[in-house]
Structure formats: C-alpha cells, structure tokens
Amino acid sequence: MDNLANITPCLEILISTMNKTSLTFLKEMFVRNENKEYKILVINQTSEGNLLTSNDENIRVVNSFETGLPQSRNLALQNAIGDICLIADDDVVYEQDFEKTIIESYKENKSADIITFMMIDTEGELFRNYPAISVHNKKSVSTANSVVITFNREKVLSNEVWFNNNFGLGSIFQTANEYVFLRNALDKKLNTFFKPKIILSHPVLSSGKDASSDRIIFARGALFYKYSGLLGYLRVFKYVYLLYRTKQIKKEDFFRKTRMGLNGINKYRQLVKEGLEIRKI
C-alpha cells in the first residue's frame, strides 16, 4: 500500500534458493520462531526435472530455469504480494520476533520506502561496522547486506527499482548486488532508512567478504567506473593498494590484481557501448 501509517502491513519474505525439492530448509531459518506462519515466496532456480512444490497456503513457490542472483531477486519482486517485503537467502536464521521489529520500524518511520537492519554472524558478533545514521546516503548503503533489506513493495515497483542483472552472484560482476539496488533507490528519491536492530544471523563466510579474489576485484573495477567514471581507474589502484597494505595480497600479486580491476572497467565500458548498461553517478 502507498501509505502504511494507519494499517498493520503484511510482511512477505522473498527467499532466493537453488535446486531445492523440499521445503525442509525453512525449518532452520525459522527455528527461533517456531509455530508461526509467515507469508513466504520461494524463488527456486532449478532444472525441469527437479521442481519444488508447496502445499501450504502461506508459502508460494516459483521454479525458475534461469540462473543468477539478481535474476532471482527480480523474479521475486515481480511475484511478491506483501505490503512490506524482506529479501532473504536460504542460509539465514531469523531472530525471535524479527517480523515485529520490521513492522514496528515502518510504523515509527511513516515516510520510509526502504529500511535496512543489522545482522550478526553465527558467533554472535555484528556482521560489520554499521554507520551511526538513521537515513541512508550513497556511502552508508555500502554497509547493507541484501538479506537485511526491507521495502514497501508498491513504492519500489512504481518507481521501477530493480536489481541490476550485471551485478551479483552468477552475473558478469559477482558482487554489489544490493549496493547497486540501493543506489538505484536513492537515485529514484526513495526514502531509505537504517534501523540499528538485529533481525537475523548469517554464516561468517560470505561471498562479499572475499575482497582479494580475482572475481571481486574484477567486479569492483566495474563498480568503481559505474559510479566514478574516469576516477574509477584511480579507485582500482587505491583498492588494490589497500589489499596489499592489509596483507590480503602479496607484493608480487599487486600488478596482476590491478590488471584484473582494469579488466573489469574495460568489460563494463563494453557493456555500456553495447547498450547493456547505463552509467550513472
């Protein structure tokens, strides 16, 4: 609904998963919230002979034969029906009464179109250093993981805020799926808030934390150019130098890693030239 101030909005959880044939994986996700029924949409990327079905009225399933995380997220957006939606993966574990935290946050922030929250790792530590802000900006959205993003469905859809198919796992540039989404939201002037409350835990190892890998550096190069233009070249050097200073790469790998970032820029520029990407600052 366009205005959620005077109602109790319906929360829907949009789960991206792969190759599932049973809904048993949901038990672990909601182990701290047993005996509660949540409205859930599962996007299962799979093959034609490996389908997932649901007999529960509150759990809908869409089997998809395409690959890529942004493709899964966008399919979820297209099929969502909740007033407020929560982005999800199949390896999170929700905190007790997490849905109450989310709904109350929207009631407290009546103009919010998007609210991001905090998460912890399986050892109980905060997943990252979170900003001391309440309203997101272009810098602070880099601290938001996709699984703590909630949004007003009608506002996101009416403003055509989608996940970029070129950024995220299974795509050309395998990172920054949520960052590009949130930057898109800010560009569309959506009111994007941060609520410093924990709603879930997530395994310590995360694809986005593999900062020194070739695939992440390649993707970072593209991301730097997308938002910084020619300054993106300098940002690649700065990023690789930081990896070296923090001993995440060896001295002898410095130039090869830098070339990987520059290759990412070149690939991104090629996509822009082909009309498959639009660079915005």
Instruction: Specify the higher pLDDT residue, 84 or 49.
Output: 84
- Range with the lowest mean pLDDT among 49-63, 132-146, 206-220? 206-220
* Average pLDDT estimate for 235-245: 97
pTM, to two decimals: 0.93
The whole-number pLDDT of residue 34 equals: 84
Domain ranges of the chain: 11-208, 210-273
Cα–Cα nearest to 18, from 58, 72, 54, 59: 72
- Angle separating helix axes 254-273 and 214-228, nearest 10 degrees: 50
What backbone torsions phi and psi does residue 249 show, to the nearest 5 degrees?
-135, 160
| CATH 3.30.830.10 is the classification of domain 11-208 | no
- Burial class of residue 106 (count of CB atoms within 10 Å of its CB; 0-12, 13-18, 19+): buried
| pLDDT single digits (tens) 169-195 | 999 999 999 999 999 999 999 999 999
Which element (helix H / strand E) includes 226?
Answer: helix 214-228
